[in-house]
């Protein structure tokens, strides 16, 4: 058997493993053959026979060196694959398929069915996503505006279409019928374009020039209307946070009145306090107190650094989007949270609510001073400056490094 080949890869969701070796919390709660329910990143050590056929593989997270040196708290996951489990893993990973299968099956021909007894996970909803707020199905308050925009666009298109037809009709020769009845019908047909106030088009040069002036004026007005519609669509982004905050306050503010009968008093419910407005101080307080419920009602994304970014490929740090705030309970493995505030996107560490040592998460990032750096203070949870990212397609890129106070 040859020396194992180390491959940086991501363990896909819903894959079966043959044996679990670490950590104890996962191994004790699973059978010998379990189901990987989260996305893990790390190294896969693949052992092959003399014919370069894979016979077994061991997945280490975060890497093989950490897990083999015996530092169990630092080893997040160590599972092995053999037989059918190994074959399924290779076919699910495009990189492994190209490296170890001589005649790989086409990607579309490989069935990817969920494990028995577990239904397929529906695609995540984007309704609370700050960047998809214009979706009328997610934000009912914007339905009248969307309808108005569509109606205006349709009106502009119809007027432009009519103006173009009139210009084409003007260029065509004016064939007149010899009978008075045909002439009247032609005049009546041309008068049907009365919405443009052009009147019947004649071959007279003066009337042609007047018609062109009116058409140019109409087209200029249509272009102005089209530009205004585009501006209105842009303005929607500036009020999305206000709409979201108002909807939350309206849903939580409900009180019950007291009885109007003298001597008889009913139980009066205490109204829930409205959520505090989102601010930099509120975000820092959520990290300092490890109380992320302070910002859970505002739109945000769970992200993790890409494998290419970890390996130093590229000139900036990049982060892949894994879920939004509607799936917060299942995002225990995400490294960071991106939360928008006004015109900035802030990147903060994702600290688990039941973490034994929350400061350890911050220290792990500060030890690699490329996202957050150490400051002069002793409290690692006190952030003096939040890291800032920007959206680039389906990923985020780091623009400003954060610092601990």
At 250-280, the pLDDT tens digits run 655 544 444 444 444 445 566 767 788 999 9
Do 48 and 92 fall into the same domain? yes
Asked if the structure places residue 361 within a domain, the reply is yes
- Kindly state whether residues 287 and 211 are assigned to the same domain: no
285 and 394 fall within a common domain: yes
Q: How confident is the model at residue 180 (pLDDT cuts 50, 70, 90)?
A: very low
Same domain, 162 and 76: no
Q: What was the pLDDT predicted at 201? A: 45
Determine the pLDDT at residue 197. Answer: 45
One domain for residues 309 and 370: yes
Task: Taking residues 358-364, report their average pLDDT.
Answer: 89
- 56 and 95 assigned to the same domain: yes
**CA pseudo-torsion sign 138, 140, 146, 147:** positive
> pLDDT tens, 280-315?
999 999 999 999 989 999 999 999 999 999 988 889
Select from 142, 123, 137 the least CA-distant residue to 326: 123
254 backbone dihedrals φ, ψ, rounded to 5°:
-140, 130
Q: Is residue 227 part of a domain?
A: yes
Tell whether 308 and 400 lie within a shared domain: yes
Per the omega criterion (within 30 degrees of 0), is the bond before 199 cis? no
The domain boundary, picked from 89, 109, 129, lies at: 109
pLDDT at position 350: 92
320 by DSSP, 3-state: which?
A: strand
Is residue 224 located within the same domain as residue 286?
no
Alpha-carbon span 378 to 334, nearest angstrom: 25
Q: Are residues 325 and 390 in the same domain?
A: yes
- Give the torsion through C-alpha atoms of 319, 325, 326, 327, to 10 deg: 50
Residue 264 lies in a domain: no
Phi, psi of 331 (to 5 degrees): -105, 55
Q: What domain count does the chain have?
A: 3
> In terms of residues, how long is the chain?
405
Helices (H), 236-298: 240-252, 280-288
The tokens describing 390, both together, are 């920007």
What does the alpha-carbon distance between residue 405 and residue 402 come to, in Å, rounded to a whole number?
10
Average pLDDT of the segment spanning 386-392: 96
Q: Is residue 56 part of a domain?
A: yes
Report the candidate in 393, 364, 359, 395 with the shortest Cα–Cα distance to residue 378. Answer: 359
Range of the domain at 285: 280-404
**Are 378 and 284 contained in the same domain?**
yes
> Does 299 map to a domain?
yes
Q: How does residue 233 score in pLDDT terms, banded at 50, 70 and 90?
A: low
Pairing of strands 372-373, 402-404: parallel
| Domain edge (last residue) among 238, 261, 293 | 238
Answer yes or no: is 133 within a domain.
Answer: no
Residue 233 maps to a domain = yes
Check whether residue 293 and residue 395 sit in a common domain: yes
Spatial separation of the C-alpha atoms in residues 127 and 301, rounded to whole Å: 12
* Mean pLDDT, residues 143-155: 74
Q: What percent of the chain has pLDDT over 70?
A: 65
Q: Between 265 and 362, whose confidence is greater?
A: 362
Average pLDDT, the chain: 75
The string of pLDDT tens digits covering residues 33-69 is 778 877 888 999 998 887 778 889 999 888 888 888 8
pLDDT of residue 240: 59
pLDDT at position 239 is 63
Kindly state the tokens that stand for 318.
């990049």
Query: Are both 390 and 295 inside the same structural domain?
Result: yes
Domain contains 23: yes
């Amino acid at each position: 058997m040859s020396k194992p080949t180390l491959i940086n890869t991501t363990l896909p969701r819903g894959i079966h493993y043959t044996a679990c070796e670490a950590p104890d919390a996962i191994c004790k709660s699973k059978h010998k053959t379990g189901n990987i329910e989260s996305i893990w990143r790390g190294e896969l050590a693949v052992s092959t026979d003399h014919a370069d056929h894979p016979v077994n593989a061991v997945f280490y997270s975060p890497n093989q060196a950490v897990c083999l040196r015996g530092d169990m708290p630092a080893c997040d996951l160590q599972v092995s694959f053999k037989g059918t489990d190994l074959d399924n893993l290779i076919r699910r990973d495009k990189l492994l398929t190209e490296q170890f299968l001589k005649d790989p099956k086409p990607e579309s021909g490989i069935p990817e069915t969920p494990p028995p007894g577990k239904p397929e996970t529906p695609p995540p909803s984007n309704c609370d996503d700050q960047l998809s707020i214009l979706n009328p199905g997610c934000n009912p308050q914007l339905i009248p505006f969307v309808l108005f925009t569509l109606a205006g666009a349709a009106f502009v298109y119809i007027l432009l279409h009519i103006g173009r037809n009139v210009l084409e009709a003007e260029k065509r020769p004016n064939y007149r019928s010899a009978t008075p009845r045909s002439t009247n019908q032609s005049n009546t047909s041309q008068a049907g374009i009365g919405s443009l106030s052009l009147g019947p088009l004649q071959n007279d040069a003066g009337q042609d020039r007047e018609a062109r002036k009116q058409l140019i004026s109409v087209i200029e007005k249509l272009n102005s209307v089209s530009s205004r519609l585009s501006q209105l669509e842009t303005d929607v982004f500036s009020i999305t946070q206000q709409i979201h905050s108002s909807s939350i306050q309206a849903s939580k503010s409900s009180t019950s009145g007291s009885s109007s009968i003298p001597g008889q008093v009913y139980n009066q419910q205490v109204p829930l306090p409205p959520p505090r407005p989102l601010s930099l101080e509120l975000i820092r307080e959520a990290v300092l107190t490890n109380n992320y419920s302070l910002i859970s009602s505002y739109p945000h994304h769970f992200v993790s650094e890409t494998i290419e970014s970890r390996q130093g490929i590229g000139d900036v740090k990049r982060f892949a989007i894994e879920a939004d705030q509607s799936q917060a309970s299942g995002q225990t493995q995400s490294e960071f949270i991106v939360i928008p505030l006004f015109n900035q996107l802030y990147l903060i560490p994702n600290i688990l609510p039941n973490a034994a040592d929350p400061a350890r998460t911050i220290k792990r990032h500060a030890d690699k001073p490329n996202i957050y750096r150490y400051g002069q203070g002793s409290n690692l949870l006190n952030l003096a400056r939040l890291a800032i990212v920007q959206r680039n397609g389906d990923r985020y890129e780091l623009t400003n490094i954060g610092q601990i106070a």
